Amino acid sequence: MIRLGGNVSKFQAPKGVSEYFPPNSSQFEYVRDKLLQSAKLAGYSLIELPVFEDTEVFTRGVGESTDVVSKEMYTFEDRGGRSITLRPEGTAGVMRAVIEHNLDRGQLPVKLFYTGPFFRAERPQAGRYRQFYQVGVEAIGYNDPQIDVEVIAIADKAFKSLGLKQYKLNLTSLGDAQSRDSHRKDLVKFIAGLKLDEATIERSKINPLRLFDDKRDEVKSAMSKAPLLLDYLNSESSQHFDEVKRLLQVLKIDYVINPRMVRGLDYYTGTTFEFDHQLLGAQSGIGGGGRYDGLMSSLGGSDVSGIGFGLGVDRILMACLAEDSLPASVNQLDLFIVPITPQSKDFSFQLLSDLRDAGISCDMAYGDRGLKGGMKAADKSGARFGLVIGDDEISSNRCELKLMSSGEEISSSLTASEIINRLGKDK
C-alpha cells in the first residue's frame, strides 16, 4: 500500500505475484489453452481442486528436505486452529483427492489435468513469482514406459503447438527402490568424507540427492566426483529407462541425459525430466516432472505408481515472447460496430446480440461517441473488422465491413446472416 497523504492510499499487488490484464492477458490465455489442449487430446480429464490443503499433505507428500517445504510454503492456522497451506505444487493434492475419492479403484490409468495458481514464498525475480500458474497432468496406475513417454510428449507437443523451438528436454532416471538404496549407501559414504556445515549435513540425511542441487561453488565442486544414480540402476530400472529413450526416439523427441539433475520435490522415482528454455536466463525451467512410486502410499493410499508434469505458464509465455512465436493477434474480436445516430444505436444493439448468438465475437461503441471516437474505440479493441452504421445504412440495408489491418472495405447487406458470411470468408 502506498500512502498518498491524508487518508487516501493506493494499493499494490503483494510483492512477487504475476498478474495478467488486457490486452496481454489474451496471450496468457492462449498459451494456457494450448497447453491444456495437448493434455485433452491425450485423454486427460479435468480435476479441479482447492488451492489450500492440510499442511501435512505437502510435508509428507513433497518432502521435508526440499526448499519448497522447508522455506517456501505459505502456511497459516485457520479459524479452527488447523494448519493450512496454500498449494506450492499440484501433485500431492491430486493424490490426496485420488485416495479420498477412490479414483484409482476404477479403470487405470487415471489420467487427470489441472490448471491454476500455485504459491511459493521464493525471492521474486524475472520468471520467479510467489503466485504463479501451472498446467499439470498426472497419469496414475501403471508403471509403463509408454505412459512416461506419453506424458513427456504432451508437453513437447504443447510447446511445438506454441511455435517454440529453443528448448531442451533433460532426462534421467532415479531408478526403483533397490537401485536407489544401493546408490544411497555409496553416496552417504561419499558425503561423509566431505566438509559440510551442519544444516547441509542434516538436509543430506533426509535426502542425500539434494546435494547435487546445491548452488554453492564449493559444494558443486565437491559433488563433481560423487557417485551417480544412473550408474546404479538394476536391470529392471535400466530396461525401463532404455525403453523410455527408445520411445522418445520413435516419436522424434530430442533429449539430453542429465544424470545430475535433481528435481525440487522429494517424491520422484524412475524417469524424471525437465524442459529448459534457452532464452530465459536464470529461471529457464519451463516445466518438469517424473514418476513417483511411493507417493500414493506415503499419503495413505494404495501402492500404485504414477507420473506427471507441471508446466509453468508464466515462463512459457515469456519463452513465446522471447521467440516471437505467438500469432500476431490472439483471441481477436471478429467485429466492432460503431453506431453514429440514435436510431442506429438501437439497431446495432440488436445486431450485436444476433451476431453473438451466432458465435461471432463482437462489441460496439457505447455512449455517444460519434464517428471519430467510435473508430478510435474500434481500433483499440483490436477487432478484425469495423462496421459503421448510420441512418443511411439502415434505410439502404447496405454496409461496408472495414478490414482494420488494411482499410479494405467489403460490401454487405446489413443483415446478420450476410455479415456472418462475409466475416467467415475473410477469416
Binding footprint of ligand HAM on the chain (CB under 6 A): 89-91, 120, 122, 127-129, 132, 134, 136, 138, 264-265, 285-290, 308-310, 312, 314-315
Q: What is the 3-state secondary structure (H, E, C) of 293-305?
A: CCHHHHCCCCCCC
Residue least distant from ligand HAM (Cβ): 312
3-state secondary structure of 337: strand
Identify which of residues 54 and 363 has a Cβ nearer to ligand HAM in the complex: 54
Cell digits for 151? 506424458
Residue 127 C-beta: closest distance to ligand HAM, Å = 6
Q: Which is nearer to ligand HAM, 136 or 145 (CB)?
A: 136
Distance, in Å, from the CA atom of 427 to the CA atom of 371, rounded to the nearest integer, reads 26
Closest to ligand HAM by CB, 132 or 232: 132
Question: C-beta of 257: minimal distance to ligand HAM in Å?
Answer: 18
Q: Which is nearer to ligand HAM, 139 or 378 (CB)?
A: 139
**Shortest distance (Å) from residue 161 CB to ligand HAM:** 17
- Tell me the closest approach of the beta carbon of residue 305 to ligand HAM, in angstroms: 12
CB nearer to ligand HAM: pick between 109 and 288: 288
Q: How far apart are CA 270 and CA 318, in angstroms?
A: 30
Closer CB to ligand HAM, 310 or 339, in the complex: 310
Min dist. Cβ of residue 353 to ligand HAM (A): 41
* CA atoms within 13 Å, Cβ hemisphere of 36: 14
Task: Give the C-alpha distances (Å, rounded to integers) separating 123 from 62, 254, 326.
Answer: 20, 32, 29
Minimum distance, C-beta of residue 350 to ligand HAM, in the bound complex (Å): 46
Q: How many Å apart are CA 316 and CA 351, to the nearest integer?
A: 39
CB 296 within 8 A of CB 303: yes
Q: How many other C-beta atoms can be found within 10 angstroms of the C-beta atom of residue 202?
A: 11
Beta carbon of residue 191, minimum distance to ligand HAM (angstroms, whole number): 24
* Order of strands, sheet of 409-413, starting from the edge strand that comes earlier in the sequence: 362-364, 335-339, 385-389, 398-403, 409-413
Burial of 373 per CB tally in 10 Å (0-12, 13-18, 19+)? middle
Kindly tell me which of 34 and 384 has the beta carbon lying closer to ligand HAM.
34
Reported in sequence order, the residue ranges of 198-346 that DSSP labels E, i.e. its strands, are 256-257, 269-277, 285-292, 306-312, 335-339
| Shortest reach from residue 318's CB to ligand HAM, in Å | 9
63/265 Cα distance (integer angstroms): 7
Cβ proximity to ligand HAM, 265 vs 388, nearer residue: 265
